[in-house]
């Protein structure tokens, strides 16, 4: 008989958000029977409406009480059931003295363990070193919730290393994100070329926001240092909602001063994004810090080569030859020149077999096998 899994989170974040997507995919895979011997019992979540006080009260008191009550009711149905919290920001939901085992997915520890990353372009803060009073109390409850959990499931080895340092006696499993690799395959699902992509140019892709740790500004610097005859043939397609209009204006001005062409796509549909993956010459991912980094994986599953900064934890996603020193401008410039020269000789890029092959390491089948193993060993 399959073990039942209660999946809990706080507010009902949409699939479009990072944490929302991870939650929805977990629920979908349990509902569709993709995890052997485990089935979805129910989802515990709440609406995102209400004023600031109502949202705080719901998060701090009402919702944890509901989770504890439903968990108690579930234990009466089966002592083998599991409560799973789908991200560490909701770890305060782990009931005190839970009657059934509890696992929590830890995506990153940027807020619980903020850090400063030094680079030649200055210091980038990842997470807030001085959160306000309310947020500090919230983080305190999150830490206590993680301590109460029976199992912490980390999406990368880098995060697992930090978790083991903080909770050395806690059971820890590593479970990288997974995607439907076949669903991205350019041979099985070829997509039309985006209007902005011109095969007579070198089409480079950036997926992300203008957040400092993502380092779009570094990428502009890289392209600005290309030889002029190469730079004038290169277009950087920037995909992702604009998080800071001021930062975008600054980046546009910087790109213009360097003579760097950027196509600002903004927020687009998944299908449109996959089309860029299939038709661009490479994805550039210079981020300084990620919990995992889905764009490189999605790009590879679409047959697109990747150049990624050699930083935790997204350096666990791309093949080693595609990792570049995060703070060495010349290495990035040389790599882009190599990509550009190849692109200008051949025209449209064919699906990259290295990328397609490597992406299969992150298939849903592998993910399902690992979470089955993790949950099978969890006991109260």
- Residue by residue, DSSP assigns 154-217 as ESSHHHHHHHHHH-TTSEEEE----B-HHHH-TTTS--PPPTT--TTSEEEEEES---GGG-HH
Global pTM exceeds 0.85: yes
For residues 30 and 7, give the distance between their C-alpha atoms in angstroms, rounded to a whole number: 10
Look over the chain and give the mean of its residue pLDDT values, rounded to a whole number: 95
Q: Would you state the pLDDT for residue 14? A: 87
Which residue reads 């300084």 in tokens?
288
Q: Would you state the pLDDT for residue 79? A: 86
E-only strand ranges, the chain: 3-11, 38-46, 82-85, 102-106, 115-119, 122-126, 151-154, 171-174, 202-207, 234-239, 261-266, 282-285, 306-309, 323-324
Name residues whose C-beta falls within 8 Å of residue 10's C-beta, 6 or more positions apart in sequence. 45, 46, 59, 63, 89, 90, 93
Average pLDDT over residues 28-49: 96
Edge-to-edge strand ranges of the sheet holding 82-85: 38-46, 3-11, 82-85, 102-106, 151-154, 171-174
Q: Would you state the pLDDT for residue 245? A: 86
> Which CATH number describes the domain made up of 3-178+363-376?
3.40.50.2000
Which residue reads 């240092």 in tokens?
225
For residues 68 and 82, give the distance between their C-alpha atoms in angstroms, rounded to a whole number: 13
Region(s) of the chain under CATH 3.40.50.2000 = 3-178+363-376, 181-360
Under 8 Å between Cβ of 246 and 272: no
Under 8 Å between Cβ of 216 and 210: yes
Q: What percent of the chain has pLDDT over 70?
A: 100
Q: Would you state the pLDDT for residue 339? A: 98
Give 121 or 157, the one with higher predicted confidence: 157
Please calculate the CA angle 352-357-358 and round it to the nearest 5 degrees.
100
The per-residue pLDDT for range 62-92, each reduced to its tens digit, is 999 999 999 999 999 998 999 999 999 999 9
For residues 339 and 16, give the distance between their C-alpha atoms in angstroms, rounded to a whole number: 31
| 304 pLDDT higher than 90 | yes
Q: Would you state the pLDDT for residue 18? A: 81
Q: Which residues is 86 bridged to in the sheet?
A: none
Write the CA distances from 121 to 118, 215, 251, 255, integer angstroms.
Answer: 8, 10, 15, 16
Q: Would you state the pLDDT for residue 120? A: 75
Q: Which residues is 173 bridged to in the sheet?
A: 153
| 204 pLDDT higher than 80 | yes
Which of 270, 295, 309 is CA-nearest to residue 355?
295
101-128 b/e (C-beta count within 10 Å ≥ 16 → b): bbbbbbbbbbbbeeeebeeeeeebebbe
Q: Would you state the pLDDT for residue 16? A: 76
CATH class of 181-360: alpha beta
Backbone angles phi, psi at 320, to 5 degrees: -55, -40
| 229 pLDDT higher than 80 | yes
| 195 pLDDT higher than 90 | yes
Q: Would you state the pLDDT for residue 140? A: 97
Under 8 Å between Cβ of 106 and 154: yes
Q: Which two tokens stand for residue 361?
A: 């390491």
| 380 pLDDT higher than 80 | no
Q: Would you state the pLDDT for residue 244? A: 81
Q: Would you state the pLDDT for residue 184? A: 96
SS3 292: coil
Q: What percent of the chain has pLDDT over 90?
A: 88
Supply the angle between the helices 18-31 and 364-376 in degrees, to the nearest 10.
80
The per-residue pLDDT for range 160-186, each reduced to its tens digit, is 999 999 999 999 999 999 999 999 999
- Residue by residue, DSSP assigns 110-151 as TTTS-EEEEETTEEEEES-SS--HHHHHHHHHHHHHHHH-SE
Average pLDDT over residues 307-313: 96
Average pLDDT over residues 209-238: 95
The per-residue pLDDT for range 243-294, each reduced to its tens digit, is 888 888 999 999 999 999 999 999 999 999 999 999 999 999 999 999 999 9
Q: Characterize the bridge pairing of strands 115-119 and 122-126.
A: antiparallel
* Count of CB atoms situated within 10 Å of the CB of 271: 10
Q: Characterize the bridge pairing of strands 115-119 and 102-106.
A: unpaired
For residues 271 and 309, give the distance between their C-alpha atoms in angstroms, rounded to a whole number: 26
Q: Would you state the pLDDT for residue 35? A: 97
| 58 pLDDT higher than 90 | yes
Please calculate the CA angle 313-319-322 and round it to the nearest 5 degrees.
95
């Amino acid at each position: 008989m399959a073990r039942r899994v209660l999946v809990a989170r706080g507010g009902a974040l949409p699939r479009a958000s990072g944490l929302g997507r991870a939650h929805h995919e977990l629920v979908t895979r349990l509902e569709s029977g993709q995890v052997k011997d485990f089935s979805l019992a129910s989802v515990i979540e709440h609406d995102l409406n209400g004023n600031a006080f109502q949202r705080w009260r719901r998060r701090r008191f009402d919702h944890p009480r509901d989770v504890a009550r439903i968990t108690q009711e579930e234990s009466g149905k089966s002592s083998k059931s599991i409560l799973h919290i789908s991200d560490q920001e909701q770890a305060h939901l782990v009931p005190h003295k839970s009657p059934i085992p509890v696992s929590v997915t830890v995506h990153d520890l940027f807020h619980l363990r903020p850090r400063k990353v030094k680079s030649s372009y200055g210091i980038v803060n990842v997470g807030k070193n001085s959160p306000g009073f309310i947020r500090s109390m919230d983080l305190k409850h999150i830490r206590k919730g993680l301590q109460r959990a029976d199992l912490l499931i980390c999406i990368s080895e880098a995060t697992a290393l930090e978790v083991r340092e903080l909770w050395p006696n806690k059971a820890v499993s590593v479970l990288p994100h997974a995607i439907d690799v076949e669903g991205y395959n350019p041979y099985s699902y070829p997509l039309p070329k985006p209007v902005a992509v011109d095969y007579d140019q070198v089409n480079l892709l950036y997926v992300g926001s203008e957040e400092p740790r993502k380092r779009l500004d570094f990428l502009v610097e890289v392209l600005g240092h290309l030889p002029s005859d190469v730079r004038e043939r290169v277009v950087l397609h920037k995909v992702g909602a604009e998080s800071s209009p001021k930062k975008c204006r600054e980046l546009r001005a910087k790109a213009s001063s360097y003579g760097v062409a950027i196509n600002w796509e903004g927020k687009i549909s998944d299908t449109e994004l996959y089309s860029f993956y299939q038709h661009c010459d490479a994805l550039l991912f210079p981020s300084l810090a990620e919990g995992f980094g889905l764009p490189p994986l999605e790009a590879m599953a679409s047959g697109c080569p990747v150049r990624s900064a050699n930083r935790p934890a997204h350096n666990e996603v791309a093949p080693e030859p595609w990792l570049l020193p995060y703070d060495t401008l010349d290495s990035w410039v040389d790599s882009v020149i190599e990509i550009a020269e190849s692109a200008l000789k051949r025209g449209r890029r064919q699906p990259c077999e290295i990328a397609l092959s490597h992406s299969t390491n992150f298939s849903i089948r592998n993910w399902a096998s690992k979470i089955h193993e993790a949950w099978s060993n969890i006991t109260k």
